[in-house]
Amino acid sequence: MFAAAIRPARPIRVAVADDCILIRHALAEILGAADEVELVAVCADADELRAAVAAHAPDVVITDIRMPPTMTDDGIRVADELRRTRPEIGVIVLSAYCEPWYAVALLRHGSDRRAYLLKGRLASVPQLLATITAVASGGSLVDAELTRVLGLGDQVT
């Protein structure tokens, strides 16, 4: 299913933000090797991500939820800011937390160009790349485990 994703005409510009160095480096390695992606920034916190968005104008941001400076919901806050100020930028939340509140907060102003993936359930590089392509094209996706927690059955949007 994921391998059949349509390849974009130009590389999708992606910025990554996660406070865990292992996740940052793994994503940088994976995305750096993908022809369909141009990795434009790797950030350790929400403030670095905001600066990277201003400097590099990515098509898609991949962000953790809980990271500095507050270690609460900084990734969701950045997603909200981007919805207001740069709605053309897609946001993929990549989190260890299967929390309905975070999903509702991410999608409360619309689901277009938004995805919520669980780190422990991201099964393959093609799955990640297909999600990036879908979000860059205006699509949305919520991990099936989270839809079950939300009471939506096995639906994936």
How high is the mean pLDDT in each 10-residue block of the chain (157 residues)?
A: 57 98 98 97 98 98 96 95 97 93 92 96 96 97 88 56
Please state, in angstroms and as integers, the Cα–Cα distance from residue 140 to each residue in 59, 76, 133, 151, following that order. 14, 15, 10, 18
| Cross-sheet strand order for the sheet of 114-118 | 37-43, 12-17, 60-63, 90-95, 114-118, 140-142
- Give 121's DSSP letter: G
- Domains of the chain (ranges, CATH numbers): 11-144 (3.40.50.2300)
Determine the pLDDT at residue 148. Answer: 86
User: With contact defined as beta carbons under 8 Å apart, do 56 and 40 qualify?
Assistant: yes
Q: How many CA atoms lie within 13 A of 121 on its CB side?
A: 14
Determine the pLDDT at residue 8. Answer: 59
User: With contact defined as beta carbons under 8 Å apart, do 18 and 96 qualify?
Assistant: no
Determine the pLDDT at residue 150. Answer: 76
Backbone angles phi, psi at 84, to 5 degrees: -80, -45
| Placement of tokens 């507050």 in the chain | 70
| Among 114, 57, 46, residue whose Cα is nearest residue 85 | 57
* Helices of type H across 8-124: 21-32, 46-56, 74-85, 100-107
Determine the pLDDT at residue 151. Answer: 74
